[in-house]
Amino acid sequence: MVSDHGRWNQDENRVEGGITPDRLPPTMDVDPLSAGAAILNWWEARKQRKLIESFAKSPPVRSRPKRKAPKRRRKASVRATTGAELLREQRLQLEREKFEWSKSRDLWNGLKWVLEFSRNSEDYDEDYDD
């Protein structure tokens, strides 16, 4: 025997007359095994929710320390740049002075050679004059 559960109202998208204890549909019967499974499911979900909440409250655990950021090299300051420029200019000046000394030494050696050659040639010329 099929009991009448009320008429379906399409406009309001519900059953007219509602569900009353004397008109329970067959799907509303509660199975004790299903109720036990529902309680266990709720209990497990509650435990997981509490565990997640405790994770959110606790500070993060670091398994290993973070790597330190590499130290950035400072750009050469104006003072260091001028010091480097000064050293470079001093080296260039030293090279110029060395070159001038070698040039004047070569010049003096050349002059000495010319004088010696002229003396020797005078002696050489005197030997052939005879």
Q: What is the mean pLDDT of each run of 10 residues along the chain (130 residues)?
A: 54 58 60 87 94 84 73 70 86 95 93 87 60
Would you state the pLDDT for residue 2? 46
Would you state the pLDDT for residue 35? 86
Would you state the pLDDT for residue 68? 80
- 58-97 residues labelled b (16+ CB within 10 A) or e (exposed): eeeeeeeeeeeeeeeeeeeeeeeeeeeeeeeeeeeeeeee
Is the pTM here over 0.75, yes or no?
A: no
The domain locations on the chain are: 89-130
Would you state the pLDDT for residue 80? 65
Would you state the pLDDT for residue 57? 84
Would you state the pLDDT for residue 17? 61
β-pair type (14-15, 8-9): antiparallel
Would you state the pLDDT for residue 41? 95
Would you state the pLDDT for residue 1? 42
Would you state the pLDDT for residue 118? 84
CA dist 48 → 34, 54, 57, 79, 80 (Å): 21, 10, 14, 64, 63
